[in-house]
Amino acid sequence: MKHVYVIDDNDVVATALSDTLQRLGYSTEVYNDPLVFLQESMPVSPAVILLDMRMPSMTGVALQKRLMEIGRKTPIVFISGEWQSSEIVLGMKQGAVDFLFKPFNLEDLLTAISNALEKDKLNSHVLAEQLTLRERYNSLTAREKEVCALLAEGLLSKQIAIQLGISNATIKVHKSRILEKMQVSSLQQLALDLRQLGQH
């Protein structure tokens, strides 16, 4: 189910938003304090955070920055009645999907939520791909990782054999196993995968 975290110190606004979204089929969680959100909320996907910009315990952009620091990538839509252009710029630079000014209409809110949920789905897909690649790479032996790095640099089997002091035939066996374990059919794809993992 599509999930929305509503974080606003104004309980009337937060509850009204939550009730409206629940009627439209979203699951919601309401937090009137961003510090409580940090302590108690559990990440789910796909999800979006509707975040007030001005709250007593922590500003919206400060919470956004904290979420980035702990690796939580749930997309954020800022909602606020008070704002400064510098806050909007910072929020967008830090990856916010949208910024809605109170009072906003339901159509704009639903569009922003929809865009944020699409972004979260894409983030989840990319993360899953990276985890799969990491698992494949970790299945390589230490020697295979050595050969893998040199292959990705464009060295020929003969050059790798000389550099590592082993036979050309052994390098060819390693190369075959590396391609099989990494589930790629070309050295170009291998190099791309290693670059994505930060190994090349």
Strand 3-7 vs strand 98-101: parallel, antiparallel, or unpaired? unpaired
Do residues 118 and 171 both lie within one domain? Answer: no
User: Nearest CA to 52 among 19, 22, 11, 20?
Assistant: 11
Cβ-contact 4, 30 below 8 angstroms: no
Question: How many domains does one find in the chain?
Answer: 2
What CATH number is associated with residue 40? 3.40.50.2300
User: Nearest CA to 96 among 128, 40, 51?
Assistant: 51
Contacts of 11 (CB under 8 A, 6+ apart): 30, 32
Q: Is 113 among the domain residues?
A: yes
Report how far residue 137's alpha carbon sits from residue 197's, in angstroms, rounded to the nearest whole number. 9
Q: From edge to edge, which strands make up the β-sheet containing 27-31?
A: 27-31, 3-7, 47-52, 76-80, 98-101
Confidence category of residue 200, pLDDT binned at 50, 70, 90: low
Neighbouring CB atoms inside 10 A of 101's CB total 14
Do residues 106 and 169 both lie within one domain? Answer: no
Q: Is 50 among the domain residues?
A: yes
70: DSSP letter: T
Q: Which domain holds residue 155?
A: 139-197
For 74, phi then psi, to 5°, come to: -55, 125
**Residue that wins the pLDDT comparison between 25 and 126:** 25
Q: Is 66 among the domain residues?
A: yes
Q: Is 39 among the domain residues?
A: yes
Look at residue 106 in the predicted model and tell me its pLDDT: 92
Q: What is the pLDDT of residues 106-161, one digit of tens each?
A: 999 999 999 999 888 887 776 778 888 889 999 999 999 999 999 988 899 999 99
Q: What is the pLDDT of residues 38-69, one digit of tens each?
A: 999 888 888 999 999 989 999 999 999 999 99
Report how far residue 122's alpha carbon sits from residue 95's, in angstroms, rounded to the nearest whole number. 14
